[in-house]
Amino acid sequence: SDNLIRDGEDSGVLVSESGKGRIESNLIRGNMRAGVAILQSGQPHVLHNTIVAGKDSGVLVCECGEGVIEHNAIGQNRIAGIAVCSGAGPHLLHNRIGKGEGRALCIADGCHPLVEGNTLEAAANLSNVSLPHHMRALIAQKNRLVDHVHTAEELPRSLTDHSSLSGGPIGSAVGVAPAGTARGTPTATSYLSRAGLGLLKVGSRRPTA
């Protein structure tokens, strides 16, 4: 917690291969890929972060990723505020999700997220979300849809002083994978082997390219 995670050449934080962990009260900004990427059944708790100005989605949950994403301020990212795809089922609760160049919220067919209590900006009449048809009425009922759009500078920040974790040219600033991980699928391995800081549980080895 309490980190500035910025300007990485990959994701700011990666959780994959059933990895868990708590990602709390960080400023995650300006990374080349997702601010937080949850892949391959990752199950983190992501809360009270400000995730802004990324060159991809703010949060990407894919490949059956799960976890709880709550009370975050997300906006001004290039692709989507939060993108859910490939069978993922996260709980998205009480976030402020703003648009950037893309949509505030994108959910692909075949996913099963719980989406409640969020504020979706620039989304009146669901104009700034991409959803399966059967989810549209429930999303409108369980979340707050507003017209206002915050800039990255206006979004609330829970921290005034951050330690800096900059990915630099080597990739993700933080990577989390489960115990026993030596090699994963090409996707997870390529992400984590480029991490500036690999957080692996006891007994695991850092993946090799």
pLDDT tens, 82-126? Answer: 999 999 999 999 999 998 788 999 999 999 999 999 999 987 778
Predicted confidence (pLDDT) at residue 177 exceeds the cutoff of 90 = no
Weakest-pLDDT range from 68-82, 164-178, 194-208 = 194-208
Predicted confidence (pLDDT) at residue 32 exceeds the cutoff of 80 = yes
pLDDT at 154: 66
Q: Each residue of 144-168: b (16+ CB within 10 Å) or e? A: ebeeebbebeebeebbeebeebebe
d(CA 75, CA 50): 8
Mean confidence (pLDDT) of the chain: 81
Overall size of the chain counted in residues? 209
pLDDT at 60: 98
Q: How confident is the model at residue 9 (pLDDT cuts 50, 70, 90)?
A: very high
Rounded to an integer, the average pLDDT of 120-147 is 90
92 CB-near residues (< 8 Å, 6+ apart): 69, 70, 82, 84, 105, 113, 114, 115, 116, 118
How many other C-beta atoms are found inside a 10 Å radius of the C-beta of residue 134? 8
Rounded to an integer, the average pLDDT of 125-153 is 87
Q: How confident is the model at residue 139 (pLDDT cuts 50, 70, 90)?
A: very high
